[in-house]
Chain A
Amino acid sequence: MSVWEFANPARFVRIVGRILAPTALLSASLLAVGLVWGFFFTPPDYVQGSAVKILFVHVPSALMAINAWIMMLAASLIWLVRRHRVSVLAAKSAAPVGAVMTLAAMVTGGIWGQPMWGTWWAWEPRLTSFLILFLFYLGYIALWHEVDDKERAADLTSVLCMVGSVFAFLSRYAVNFWQQGLHQGASLSLDRDTNVHNAYYVPLLLCMAGFALLFVTLVLLRTRTEIRKQHSAAIAARINADVR
């Protein structure tokens, strides 16, 4: 079976109907195990104390915030090249989920920053990049809202996603550059990579898998909703035509 089989909306809806419940269940159980394990059964870090437990919600949401945008980029590209409607609807469905993940990453980052840096919001490169990413999500969602014609909305948002990706990527480096010399880096950097000890590794992995599956589940569900909405619109148009 080729991946393009998903491009047929009817088949997509059928497949989603079959796999939605298992993915939802699996992601829920992964999240439940990972979060409970992270919350109750991990030791406090010797530097950060129990604040390190925020890791289990912060890192997965940050990861999915970026991955959601990359997925939207790929889906937009497929739409522009191969004109598969399901693809662009999947990009549309992923945007609000990605925006929520970005928001969650920022909020948990801020809460983590409070005890570590002594402030809710530090203009630290990573947090700032997420704020910028959030703005890109908002712009993309707003453009979908404002364009009435579905075909045109799909094209315009896809072009925006491509161009936006370039500048979101540039912003990441601009923000890194902007930070140089304004703050002493050491006091602000949380070196997460070296902080992840074995005790945190497995629950973190579970949480990341849970968040990833949750994202997949939500995108499938929301894409199906979009397909059904378009189907409804088509039927409504037919009925109107008959009445006239």
Chain B
Amino acid sequence: MFAELGQYQFEVLAAYGATILLIGGIVALSAASSAAALRKLNELRSLEKRNE
């Protein structure tokens, strides 16, 4: 199958690789910040409960 890529093998691979890297990056970042926000919210909530 890679033979079919022929003379443009590098370009096609680079384009797919770059896109997957960029999109994977923003997905990972979004997921990480979402998890962090949830953790902080839960911490603060329990802190508030304890204060009461």
Contacts and interface: CB of A to CB of B under 8 A. Distances in A.
A contacting B, Cβ–Cβ less than 8 Å: yes
A228 B22 contact: no
A44 B22 contact: no
Contact of B14 (A111, A214, A218, A235): A111
Interface in A209-244: 214, 218, 221-222, 224-225, 228-229, 231-232, 235-236, 238-239, 242
Contact of B8 (A50, A108, A238): A50
Contact of A115 (B1, B11, B16, B34): B11
B38 A228 contact: yes
Interface of A: 35, 39-40, 44, 49-51, 53-54, 57-58, 61, 96-97, 100, 103-104, 107-108, 111-112, 114-115, 214, 218, 221-222, 224-225, 228-229, 231-232, 235-236, 238-239, 242
**A-B complex: 7 closest residue pairs judged by Cβ atoms:** A57-B19, A228-B37, A51-B8, A54-B15, A235-B44, A108-B15, A225-B34
Range of interface residues on B (Cβ < 8 Å): 20 to 34
B45 A112 contact: no
Q: Is the interface of B mostly helix, strand, loop or mixed?
A: helix
Contacts of B22: 100, 103-104, 107
B30 A225 contact: yes
23 contacts: A35-B16, A39-B12, A39-B16, A50-B7, A50-B8, A50-B12, A54-B12, A96-B26, A96-B29, A108-B19, A111-B15, A114-B11, A214-B27, A218-B26, A225-B30, A225-B34, A228-B34, A229-B37, A235-B45, A235-B48, A239-B44, A239-B47, A242-B51
